[in-house]
Amino acid sequence: MKLQLNGIAIDTDVTTLAALLDEQGFAEAKVATAVNGQFVPEALRTAQILDEGDLIEVLAPMQGG
């Protein structure tokens, strides 16, 4: 399946947001996620089904000031 992850086209066989995060090395990271512009809380990532062409954003919190 073809997706956009942070603006980069990727090919994957995973079907959920949680599996995608694991595949891409974000599984243990504290990140915010969105699918097609809609925020997906951590508790719902395993239930978030991905479809061909979805736009995924993974954002790490900023620190400093």
Domain ranges of the chain: 2-59
Rounded distance between C-alpha atoms, residue 23 and residue 12, angstroms? 9
pTM above 0.85, yes or no: yes
* Residue bearing the bigger pLDDT, 32 or 28: 32
pLDDT value of residue 64: 66
DSSP code of 49? B
**Chain segment 32-65, per-residue pLDDT in tens:** 999 999 999 999 999 999 999 999 999 987 766 6
User: Does residue 25 register a pLDDT over 80?
Assistant: yes
Reported as a pLDDT band with limits 50, 70 and 90, residue 19 is very high
Rounded to an integer, what distance in angstroms lies between the CA atom of residue 43 and that of residue 41?
5
User: Is domain 2-59 given the CATH code 3.10.20.30 in the classification?
Assistant: yes
